[in-house]
Amino acid sequence: MAQLAALGHALLAPGAWAAGQGPGAAASGDGEALKSLAARKGLRFGNAIGILNDHAGATHFRNPAYRALMARECGVLVAENESKWQALQPKPGPHDFRQADELFGWAKQQGMQIRGHCLVWQDPRWLPEWVSRRTYDAKDAERELRGHIAAVCGHFGKDVYSYDVVNEAVNPANGELIANALNKKMGALEQIDVAFRLAHEHAPHAQLVYNDYMGPGKDSAKHRAGVLKLLAGLKARGTPVNALGLQSHIGAWGGAGDSEARNRGLRDWRAFLDEVNGMGLDLLITEFDVSDKELLADVAQRDAAAAGIARDFLELTLSYPRCRDFLLWGMSDDVSWLQTWKDARRRDGLPSRPAPYDAQLQPKPMRAAIADVLKSMPMRAA
């Protein structure tokens, strides 16, 4: 019933995405920080920030104004790339933690908590190149995983409260598990199970998360089904998985202005979250942003529509009290990965506006929508 109530205004406002209507359309940066609004209901709020691949240069980690904004709004930091395997160990040998340590050191100075992302990225394109080139039998694969996971968890210790242990293991096209050099002999489910067991061994204090980018909408149906199958398989094996990370790189699923597709997508998403909730797993929103690829060119209309999409998704997802973390994947438009990802580019060539703050670090309607949802959501589960 809580989920139905959370959808109340969304289901009554079929034109809101396209027209930019609905409550909270005006931007506001005044009042309480988002981390404070979240904490009042038992939710952790944060953001991803990085040094590597910093295409925005002066407007990212090296910009004091951006860091100050993040420090004001956020209580959690996750590294965009600096704690991924390919960044920490680009060649065989010792791990290089210097850039991750710089980010995490700053986070600790600000009193922020730290999430670890990610111990294993399943897709062979995003594993270290030298790992993907090797041929492993099952014992060799487990030895490689043990060496990496022990090094990372041992280095960061209790500074990291939550790890994305495995990232994006499900092929969205067919729902099957992705093969890589580590699991050709071992099997994909077995490799994922081993990664979680090793993470539990070397970071017994940490929340252990499976993280993926399935979302609402019919185009994600096979992806959602594959993730549910994976989670059920892990639970059946007794794998120490604690939570599902919902990346939440969302957009106008079904097309902007299509109220039927919009409402069907929300119903499908609720059914998916109900399944995960029924497995006894916690939820995290780990990488939130809103693609405006399908939205109008006019900035005011586009920003209002993106805020409406954010509101619909967040009202539903945060209505689940076991969703205890909410992280953005970029505070401002200019630092977003969507500016350079070819599949996210707008056909009109305009820059994307996927974040709650613009390139001048001014709040947008999305920031107001997020604040409204944080104020109205239920308390988190104990």
Residue 381 in domain: no
What pLDDT, in 10s, does the model give residues 53-82? 555 555 589 889 999 999 999 999 999 999
Number of compact structural domains in the chain: 1
Q: Which residue has the tokens 């990802």?
A: 341
H or E segment at 18?
helix 16-19
H or E segment at 325?
strand 323-328
Nearest alpha carbon to residue 335 among 56, 114, 71, 124: 56
CATH number of the domain at 19, please. Answer: 3.20.20.80
Residue 243 in domain: yes
Q: Which residue has the tokens 């030895």?
A: 143
Residue 382 in domain: no
What pLDDT, in 10s, does the model give residues 5-56? 332 333 223 344 444 433 333 344 458 999 999 999 999 999 999 997 555 5
Three-state SS string across 125-189, please? CCCCHHHHHCCCCHHHHHHHHHHHHHHHHHHHHHHEEEEEEEECCECCCCCCECCCCCCCCCCHH
What pLDDT, in 10s, does the model give residues 189-239? 999 999 999 999 999 999 999 999 999 989 999 999 999 999 999 999 999
Residue 20 in domain: yes
Residue 170: domain span? 2-376
